[in-house]
Amino acid sequence: MFRTQEMEINMGPQHPSTHGVLRLKLRLDGERVVDSWPVIGYLHRGIEKLSESKEFIKITPFTDRMDYVCAMSGNLAYLGAVEKLCGIKVPEKAAYIRVIMVELNRIASHLLWLGTHALDIGAMSIFLYGFREREMILDLFEAYCGARLTYNAFRISGVPADLPPGWKEECTGFLKLFRQRHREYEQILTANRIWLKRTKDVGYMDAEHCLALSVTGPVLRAAGVARDLRKDEPYAIYDQLDFDIPVDDGCDTYARYIVRMAEMLQSVHMVEQCLEKMPSEGPLMGMKGRRMKPRKDEEIYFAIEGPRGEQGVYLISDGTDRPYRCKFRNSSFANLQALAPMVQGGLVADVVAIIGTLDIVLGDSDR
Amino acid sequence: MKLTRFIQKLILWELLVGMMVVIRNQFRPKVTVQYPKERIPLRPRFRGVPRLRYDPKTMEELCISCLLCEQICPDDCIAIKWEKAPSGKGRVLKDFIIDYQRCCLCGLCVDPCPTKPLTAIYMSHDYELAGSDRLDLVAGRTDLHEGRTVTIYDK
Ligand code: SF4
Ligand code: SF4
């Protein structure tokens, strides 16, 4: 008489909790998810193909538009690759400025993750607080490079400008304030029983599966693997800084929350050190002129630790000033592969929490 | 220890602590800006749409039509028309067009501009770019010097 049947529904691409234009096909058995297929590509702009027809310097603005939540990391990864390809040395002061910007951007990115992730789960006020502090970081970026989202703040072989007067003091003030505010976020969420119920044991994925799917970043570190390119393969000036890598072995959404919260404090610590150690004088650009002469048939891969994981750039040169091939290894795309195994067997409401915990940016995964 | 934890759990301690944070934040100054009525002050380095400027002393055209900005623009949105100067040396700018629809505000065009001490092209502080027509957003030489006219919504 009565008959149950599995149902296939679409979630997204306009769903507000899919953080952009992710479309998820879900097969549901009542409230349980039986199967899921992420459908991506709604934000595809062909940046890799486009890059083949542009000079190296012109590609930097495109890297802003891939991971627009952390554009500084995109810039750094790409420019690092070009510098490695052409064998250019970056002056020390420029390297310090770059690291300051990238670490501040990591805090901003994690704040955006915290706000939207908590909002999806149902905590409204933390969203407003997180964005309030993120706004201050964006003000700092605006004062430094003039843009608030798509910075294009670095150039090949260095940075275009020194820190403006008063910037250091403003930044130190912000970092001090941020430590206080960070304590407040922890007070709201860390022990909150609703938050614990919604995040503990949700989206479980252990280290073995993470590695099999080449998931990187906080998701991997929350599974107990202390893999961080800033420590393992230091680039820029990270080998001169003193910092820890937060690791947790909970493997679930709550563990990822703990790891990311701790990472924010580590970034604050790093920026403080950089501001202190940064040489006050020195060149900002390592080369004069803008003609690039990479060797013929050279292939390089350069990766940095972005806020979402390994952000790599693979370049092949054919001896001209344009790349023959430019491939971006973006962490959102790799991390998205973990979505289907994580949501399987869980509730529909947890799908939202899992999308949040993976912290994907669709501009990054679609390119 | 166990008892305190039990009591804390019973009186919803961690929710009260969280609530205290929310209440404390009620008394902090407001940060919301009512946009069309109020505006955030811009930082000196803010990058709005690129514009051209005259030499502030002589009020003559600074641009020497070297075409470097046209070459470096990643979106190909600059078009420059020039002629040989009558004296035979240098160039005279005829027209300068920037297509604001395509401009990504990257600021790369300012870097190579050779005029000293001020660059002929600069990133202005204009950021309101709405138009009702595609051609509204194609800025010619007058627009680049004087700024686009925008209708301010003040109802
Ligand atoms: S800001 Fe960038 S996109 Fe716009 S005109 Fe200048 S170089 Fe071109
Ligand atoms: S780079 Fe400067 S001087 Fe050269 S064409 Fe552009 S605006 Fe004119």
**Which residue in A281, A277, A282 sits closest to A242, CA to CA?**
A277
Owner of token pair 């060149």:
A283
- Of B77, B98, B126, which is best to mutate to test ligand 1, by the most ligand atoms within 8 angstroms of its C-beta? B77
**Residues A173-219: pLDDT tens digits?**
999 999 988 988 888 888 888 888 888 888 888 888 888 888 888 88
B107 alpha carbon to ligand 1 midpoint, in Å? 6
User: What is the rounded distance in angstroms from the CA atom of residue A335 to the CA atom of residue A355?
Assistant: 10
Give chain B's residues under pLDDT 50.
Answer: none
Q: How far is B135 from chain A (nearest CA, A)?
A: 24
**Which residue in A274, A272, A218 sits closest to A247, CA to CA?**
A218
Contacting B with CB below 8 Å, chain A residues are 54, 57-62, 64-65, 125, 129, 132, 135, 139, 142-147, 150, 152, 155, 160-161, 164, 184, 187-189, 191-193, 290
**Which residue in A134, A136, A153, A135 sits closest to A144, CA to CA?**
A153
User: What is the rounded distance in angstroms from the CA atom of residue A211 to the CA atom of residue A345?
Assistant: 21
Whether residue A8 contacts residue A348, with contact meaning beta carbons closer than 8 Å, is answered with no
Mean local confidence (pLDDT), A309-315: 89
Distances (CA, A) of B6 to A196, B11, B19: 17, 9, 20
Task: Please work out whether the CB of residue B98 comes within 6 Å of at least one atom of ligand 2.
Answer: no
* Mean pLDDT, all residues of chain A: 86
Residues of B in contact with A61 (CB under 8 A): 74, 104, 106, 108
Query: Which stretch of DSSP H or E encloses residue A81?
Result: helix A71-86
Q: What is the pLDDT of residue B155?
A: 66
Q: What is the pLDDT of residue B153?
A: 66
Mean local confidence (pLDDT), A125-143: 89
Phi, psi (degrees; rounded to nearest 5) at A55:
-65, 160
Task: Please work out whether the CB of residue B139 comes within 6 Å of at least one atom of ligand 1.
Answer: no
Residues of B in contact with A161 (CB under 8 A): 45
Q: What is the pLDDT of residue B112?
A: 85
- Of B51, B54, B63, which is best to mutate to test ligand 2, by the most ligand atoms within 8 angstroms of its C-beta? B63
User: What is the rounded distance in angstroms from the CA atom of residue A322 to the CA atom of residue A97?
Assistant: 27
Q: What is the pLDDT of residue A6?
A: 84
Whether pLDDT at A290 is above 70: no
Whether residue A129 contacts residue A185, with contact meaning beta carbons closer than 8 Å, is answered with yes
The closest-lying atom of ligand 2 relative to the alpha carbon of residue B121 is: 7
Q: What angle do CA A110, A112, A116 make, to 5 degrees?
A: 120
**Residues A39-61: pLDDT tens digits?**
888 888 888 888 888 888 888 88
**Residue at A209: amino acid letter:** H
Q: What is the pLDDT of residue A107?
A: 92
**Residues A219-235: pLDDT tens digits?**
888 888 888 888 888 88
Q: What is the pLDDT of residue A40?
A: 85
The closest-lying atom of ligand 2 relative to the alpha carbon of residue B65 is: 5
Whether pLDDT at A289 is above 70: no
Find out if CATH 2.130.10.10 is the number for domain A45-366: no
